Amino acid sequence: MMDRPNPIATAVQSMVEHLRQSPEQEAQATFQANTQLVHGLRTEATIRQFSFIVDEPQTLGGTDQGPNPVELVLAALGTCQEIVYAAYAAALNIPLRAVRIRVRGTLDLRGLFNVAPVQAGLNEVTYHVDIDSPAEPTVIRQLVELVDQHCPVLDTLRRPVATTRAVYLNGDDLTS
Amino acid sequence: MMDRPNPIATAVQSMVEHLRQSPEQEAQATFQANTQLVHGLRTEATIRQFSFIVDEPQTLGGTDQGPNPVELVLAALGTCQEIVYAAYAAALNIPLRAVRIRVRGTLDLRGLFNVAPVQAGLNEVTYHVDIDSPAEPTVIRQLVELVDQHCPVLDTLRRPVATTRAVYLNGDDLTS
């Protein structure tokens, strides 16, 4: 592993150098998604060159042609964790044979359906990380802590995020 | 619209009746996603019968074969908003011709890359909602407030969510 440079480690090191030498402003990364209601509860999300369907199961009024938005949030947590595991392991030269994650989240449907004054969103999220590696348990424990300190989606879930809305009706600004 | 029953309105009404008559416990819905690291920073998410690739752009060390996890969170917000718009509009018999949403989020890459002690996740999220409807602006304004009070992903972002982790190394519990 030490002989040939790991391309992820190289990319991470190059990004770290870039961030260290650049003004703070350059570290601000903006991401974007465009979505549209297609038919019924079925929607389509477009992210750069990627498009996919997001829908609801029939029990919730949809046609079940894609995952639902809450499931997407859980998938975002699992994949973000794995990507940060891969990046930090590469940078620290820790061998990983596999990382698999199962994420579960619970919400109270009475919030969504306005049946009781409870929060509409996820109440708790549990994530079960399965790592396959020849590294020592103490090394993996340190890796786990590093990942959880630096995983963007985990941090996004744990903290309140400021949100700003603009609404247009038939092209006219409804916000004001 | 009043003559033939709207299937979404019927589904919403039926769920509302069900939730009103059931014990609180039955309103708790659990969602799940399974993810695995495939190669490099490329991952695969599986949600029930749906699978998709989640990756990073090349600038962040990936091979850009799918959206990244933070982009998925933004798509989850846009699609969740649209589904809640469709459901509440159907239940309240408010005609909607189209709903399109653009979601943007910003994060400081120095958090992810451990270059500065800043938060790794999204700092702010802005969402721009474009509604096409013959309904009066006052009606749409009420709809917008209802949607934002009951949108699960918006609520999830705005609030801190409790997270619980379990980690296994080669099948052995590392948590304890």
User: Exposed, middle or buried by CB within 10 Å (0-12, 13-18, 19+), for A129?
Assistant: buried
Cβ-based contacts of B175 with chain A (< 8 Å)? none
Condensed to tens digits (0 to 9), the pLDDT of residues A116-173 reads 999 999 999 999 999 999 999 999 999 999 999 999 999 999 999 999 999 999 999 9
Chain A residues with CB-CB distance to B101 below 8 A:
34-36
ipTM for the predicted complex comes to 0.96
Q: Smallest CA–CA separation between A157 and chain B, in Å? A: 6
Give the predicted TM-score (pTM) of the model. 0.96
Residues of A in contact with B48 (CB under 8 A): 67, 71
Looking at CA atoms only, how far is residue A3 from chain B in angstroms? 18
Q: Which of B136, B40, B156 is nearest to B94 (CA)?
A: B136
Partner-chain contact B106 A48, CB within 8 Å? no
Task: Give SS3 for B162.
Answer: strand
Q: Kindly give, in sequence order, each residue whose CB lies less than 8 Å from that of residue A7, ignoring residues fewer than 6 positions away.
A: B40, B61
Q: How many CB atoms lie within 10 A of CB A8?
A: 21
Strand partners, A166: B128
Quote the minimal CA–CA distance from B146 to chain A in Å.
9
Tell me the pLDDT tens digit for each residue of A31-75: 999 999 999 999 999 999 999 999 999 988 899 999 999 999 999
Contact yes or no for A87/B61 (Cβ under 8 A):
yes
Q: How many whole angstroms from its chain centre is CA A108?
A: 21
Phi, psi of A172, deg, nearest 5: -100, 140
Question: Structure tokens of A42?
Answer: 């079925």
For an interface test with B, the pick among A163, A168, A173, A176 (most B C-beta atoms closer than 10 Å) comes out as A163
B15 residue type, one letter: M
Residue of B nearest to A141 (CA): B174
Four-point Cα dihedral B145, B151, B156, B159, nearest 10 = 20
Q: Which residues contact A122 (CB under 8 A, 6 or more apart)?
A: A70, A73, A105, A106, A107, A157, B152, B156, B161
Task: Tell me if B15 and A109 make a contact (CB, 8 A cut-off).
Answer: yes
| Least CB–CB distance from A156: residue in B47, B58, B122 | B122
- Name the residue in chain B with its Cα closest to that of A38: B98
**Cβ contact, residue pair A36, B100, below 8 Å:** yes
Chain segment B54-112, per-residue pLDDT in tens: 999 998 889 999 999 999 999 999 999 999 999 999 999 999 999 999 999 999 999 99
Give the whole-angstrom CA distance, residue B167 versus residue B176. Answer: 9
> Which among A12, A22, A167, A176 is the top mutation candidate for probing chain B, defined by the most B β-carbons within 10 Å of its own β-carbon?
A167
